[in-house]
Chains A and B, each alone.
Chain A
Amino acid sequence: MENFRMTRLFLLPLMLLVWLISPSDAGAVEINGVGLGPSIVDRTVKPGESFEQVFVVRNKTAAAVDLQSYLQDYRVENNQWNKVENPDAVWSPMTWATIISAPEKLDPGQKGDIRVRFDVPENAEMGEHVTYFSAKFTPAAARQEEEQSTQITVASEIRSIVYVKVTDPLGIFNLARSWRIVKAGTGYWHFDQPTFTVAAANTGNVHLEVRGTIEITDLIRNQKTQLTVPLFNILPDTEKKMEINWKEAPFIGYFKGQVELTYDGVNFEKRDFSFVVVPLLTLAGTAAVIIAIILAVVLYIRKLQKRLAEIEKLQNNNFPD
């Protein structure tokens, strides 16, 4: 009995020791689906340097998937992802990237590496640039079509944000964003649909993405309208002009306008202006009518004066002094 007690006394600390040193399970949760990592890439480079980035793709689904990978610059406006048209190699990391190797297909449970090389040109603009790396996973199984049906294949895509900070040739990152609004508004008189002009000069050392709004108040009808100034890029030491036509302008009216412009989405520069819209044909027609009326009145008065003179002459002839 005593031996058993002794054994128990001996075993208890031994079990405690085993519990202390045994590895614990973190309780990982396994999620099905497809994966891409890293989600965010942030690299700092000098102009003319290159770097390689590896993206890891995983297929945790029960079926094989076809894989497409690509890089694309996007700008988001009104919840819509628009591809950047004509990206400039001076500031677009998309144009610096080359996909060196990528699997075309992933079997269930398979993992793969996608290697992308970024060659930053010598004339790359200093600043922080952004592009998106996308991996698109499409079910490899052929779809089954049925009579008179609509079959939609759902593909999964995951994006990674790639930030590339380009320093100066010495490796110093000194970002300066500044601008000067050259023009924001329109002329006073308009005989047709008004066109608003927005012109800005980039006085900093990094490209700016300018966007904004034009709010117009109709002072006669007491109505407000908002126009969008589409996003446009201005490279350093350059000036860019954007013209926005107001197609739904009323036929005639007196308006006040306010242009709000921003390059960072936080700070807005405002410019106020006013203008009149008068249709040229209406104006010319009205002027012609007024001139005709005045001429008619003048002619009528002259005619009356002439008739009065004739009557006076007749009276003088009939009743001589």
Chain B
Amino acid sequence: MKKTIVVLLTLGILVAGMGIVNAAETLNITANVQSALTLALDPGSLTYNDIQPGVASAAQTLTATTSGSGSYHLTLASTTFTSAAGTQSASVLQFKEQSAETYKNASSSAQNMLSAAGTATAEGDEKQFDLRVNFPVSAADGTYGATVTITAVPQ
């Protein structure tokens, strides 16, 4: 008798549970999903010490992680390098994808950094770049500063 009660109780709970689950499946949900891109740059600033004019500095790595969905491009633009001693053009900064052979000179106009568009993922699509500075021989001694803008653009 007790067994019968337990079996009935078990069946009842399971059927009730399935009913709840089924009810949840038929629930209408309206969600306003908007695509978005997130860009994480590491590091947030780069410091090059003891630069010899006319000699390219050692490269430093910049990692850009783009998350979201869809294809994207990364662009780079730089301001001029300014110091108390004067200014130097944006082309002082040189960059390349780590897998690339040659460096490109930066400019005030944004340039594509990737040879082919990347694909943003939920986990983040990671791209690594080498950045270095190469001041002309005529550059005056001083502490130079510039702002480099890395832009993620959906395609």
Q: Give A contacts to B, CB under 8 Å.
A: 6, 9-10, 12-14, 16-17, 20-21, 28-29, 31-40, 56, 58, 60-61, 63, 76, 79-83, 132, 134, 136, 138-139, 143, 145-161
Contact = CB atoms under 8 A, between A and B. Distances in A.
A158 B142 CA distance: 32
B100 interface: no
Contacts of A37: 34-37
A34 B34 CA distance: 16
**Most chain B CB within a 10 A radius of its CB, from A40, A138, A147, A155:** A155
Contacts of A12: 10
Contacts of A61: 40, 44
Contacts of A155: 147-150
Contacts of B119: none
B143 A153 contact: no
B70 interface: yes
B45 A139 contact: yes
Given A29-B124, A31-B124, A33-B38, A82 B109 contact: yes
A254 B89 CA distance: 42
Given A82-B109, A147-B143, A39 B154 contact: yes
Give me the 3 closest cross-chain CB pairs, A-B, nearest first. A37-B36, A33-B40, A35-B38
Contacts of A39: 35-37, 68, 70, 154
A16 to B, nearest CB: 7
B146 A152 contact: yes
Contact of A13 (B10, B45, B151): B10
Contacts of A159: 151-154
User: Which of the four size classes fits the interface of chain B?
Assistant: 35 or more
A246 B24 CA distance: 72
B51 interface: yes
Contact of B45 (A6, A143, A156, A157): A143
A60 B38 contact: yes
Nearest to B88: A150
Given A39-B154, A150-B47, 4 more contacts: A34-B40, A38-B34, A40-B154, A156-B149
A158 B152 contact: yes
A56 B34 contact: yes
Nearest to B13: A13
B154 A160 contact: yes
29 contacts: A12-B10, A17-B13, A17-B14, A34-B39, A35-B38, A37-B37, A39-B37, A60-B40, A79-B111, A79-B112, A83-B109, A138-B147, A146-B49, A148-B49, A149-B51, A150-B51, A150-B135, A150-B144, A151-B46, A151-B47, A151-B145, A152-B46, A152-B131, A153-B45, A154-B44, A154-B45, A156-B39, A157-B151, A159-B154
Interface in B18-53: 18, 20-21, 24, 34-41, 43-51
Contacts of A143: 45, 145
B59 to A, nearest CB: 13
A39 B153 CA distance: 8
A146 B47 contact: yes
Given A17-B17, A31-B124, A151 B143 contact: yes
A146 B48 CA distance: 10
A157 B112 CA distance: 13
**Most chain A CB within a 10 A radius of its CB, from B39, B50, B67, B70:** B39
